Chains A and B, each alone.
Chain A
C-alpha cells in the first residue's frame, strides 16, 4: 500500500520562477490496485510519481510504503519495493552495457552486488527464456549493448527488468509516449500481463485516453497539482470512452 498525505511540492521556492507542482494532495493506493493518471501537461503527474519513487522529495507531507515512512528515504533505497519505466526509453537502461548485464543489475535490485561473477550460464538461460516471452526475437541478442536497440525494444526490456527481482510497485510514466503505435500496444499488454502475474501495485501515467480507459482498475485526473476527478473500479468500468474524452474539453 502507498499512502500520500498532504503532499506539497514547490520548485524554486521563493524565487521568481516558483512553481507549485503539487498542492495538499492526499492519496492512498491499495495493494494490487492499478491506478491510471491522466491530466494535461504540467499538471504534476510526473512530480507525483517522482515523489513516490524518491527521485524528488516533497516540500512537506508524508509518504508511507507498506507501512514504512519513506518520506526522507533516498530513491536508491526505496527501490527495494519499486520498479520504474521512464518516459524516455534511454533512462531505464544503461546503453553501453549488454542486455544481459542490464538484466543482471535488475535481478539484484533489492540485493547486494558482490565480487562474484553472476552472469553465468544458468542466469543467461533464465534471461533468454524471459525475453523470449516478448516475442520480439531479442533473446539472441543478449550480448549486444542495449543502446543499439529501438526505443520500443528498450521499453519492453525495461518492463521485464522490473520484475527480475522481488517487486511490489511498478511506476509507469508515459512509457509509450516515445513509441510507434504497434510497440506501444505491445508495451501496454506486457505491462498488464506482468502486473497481474506478479500481483503488482501499479501506477500508469498516460496521455493516451484509449489506454487510460482500457487499462487499470482506478482512474484519476490531475490538474494544477490537485486531483480533480477520481473513479474507483466500478465507476471506471461504467465510464464510456466518450465521457473520458469530454474530461479534456
Chain B
C-alpha cells in the first residue's frame, strides 16, 4: 500500500514536468529535451536556498525563473541561431550539467532538518497523506493558472503558433518570441518538479534528472491516449489528464519494481515501457488491418 502511495506522490510531483512536456510537444510541436537539465536545476536551486532558512514558498518564484531562463536559452538557440530544437535542447542540457554541478559544489546535498513545503500543514497527522495533500494542492493551483493562461488571448496565440505558423505570422504573431516564451514556461514547470521531488526525497543529486524526459514523454503519451479516447476538448481537463497520465506511468513502474526487478534496471524498464506505449498502437493497427 505504502508503495503505491509513494508512486502516487512521485507521479503528482513529476506532473508539472509532464505538463511542461505537454506544452512543448503537444502545443508547440517542439521536441525539447532541456528537461533533464532544468529538472535538476530546480532541485539544485532548492538545495541551495532552503538551508538558508528561506521560506520554501519564496523559493518557488526563484525556481521557476531559473527553469525559465534555461528554457528561454534553448528557445533562443533554436529560433535565433536556427538550430534544430532537439540539438538546441541537448546543448543547453549538457551545459546545465556543469552549471548544476558547480552550483551544487558536490554531487549530492541532503535536505534534512530543514523546513520544506511539506513541513507546514498536517491535517491528517500522517506524513504520506499530508505530503499528498500539499502536492495535490500546489499542482491544482498550477493547472488552474496554466488553463487560464491557455484561454487568454495570449494563450490562444501560443496554441496557434504550434498549429499553423503560416497563419500566425500572417496574423501578426512573432513565432520566434512565442516559442521562446513557451519553452521558458515549459522548463520552469520542469524545474518546479525538481523543486518538489528534492523536498519530498530530502536530497538533491546531480544525476537525478538523467532520463527524466522519458518519464515526461511517456506520461504525455498516456495522457494523449486518454484525451483522444474520451475526446476531451476542455483544456483544463486535458491538463488534468496529463497529471493522471503521469500518475499511471509511476504506478506501472511501481508494479514492475514490486515484481522484484533490480532497481538498477529502472531506467531500462522506463525506456521499454515508453517504447511499448509508442509502438503498441502501431502493432494493434497492423493486427487490425
Residues of A within 8 A of B (CB): 53, 55, 74-77, 79-80, 82-84, 86, 90-97, 101-102, 104-106, 108-110, 113-119
Contact = CB atoms under 8 A, between A and B. Distances in A.
Interface stretch (B9-17, B68-76, B145-153): B145-153
Given A95-B163, A96-B159, A55 B169 contact: yes
Given A113-B156, A116-B152, A94 B164 contact: yes
Interface string B42-85: 00000000000000000000000000000000000000000000
A117 to B, nearest CB: 5
Interface in B149-168: 149, 151-154, 156-157, 159-160, 163-164, 166-168
Contacts of B171: 76, 79, 105-106, 108-109
23 contacts: A53-B170, A55-B166, A75-B170, A76-B174, A77-B172, A82-B170, A90-B164, A91-B164, A91-B166, A94-B167, A94-B168, A95-B163, A97-B156, A101-B156, A105-B156, A105-B160, A108-B153, A109-B172, A110-B172, A113-B157, A114-B154, A118-B152, A119-B156
A93 B153 contact: no
Contacts of B164: 90-95
Interface in B198-218: none
B173 interface: yes
Nearest to A75: B169
Contacts of A110: 172
B175 interface: yes
In this complex, the interface size class of chain B, counting residues with CB under 8 Å from chain A, is 20 to 34
A230 B152 CA distance: 47
Nearest to B177: A76
A75 B168 CA distance: 10
B172 A93 contact: no
Contacts of B169: 55, 75-76, 79
Given A90-B164, A91-B164, A116 B153 contact: yes
A110 B160 CA distance: 16
B156 to A, nearest CB: 5
Given A93-B164, A94-B164, A108-B153, A101 B172 contact: no
A91 B157 CA distance: 15
Nearest to B175: A76
Contact of B159 (A55, A76, A94): A94
Nearest to A91: B166
Contacts of B156: 97, 101, 104-105, 113, 119
B151 A119 contact: yes
A33 to B, nearest CB: 21
A59 B169 CA distance: 21
B167 A104 contact: no
Contacts of A94: 159-160, 163-164, 167-168
A93 B175 CA distance: 15
A249 B84 CA distance: 47
Q: Which 6 A-B pairs have the closest CB atoms?
A: A79-B172, A94-B163, A113-B153, A94-B160, A94-B164, A91-B166
A148 to B, nearest CB: 12
A114 B152 CA distance: 7
B157 A105 contact: yes
Contacts of A91: 164, 166-167
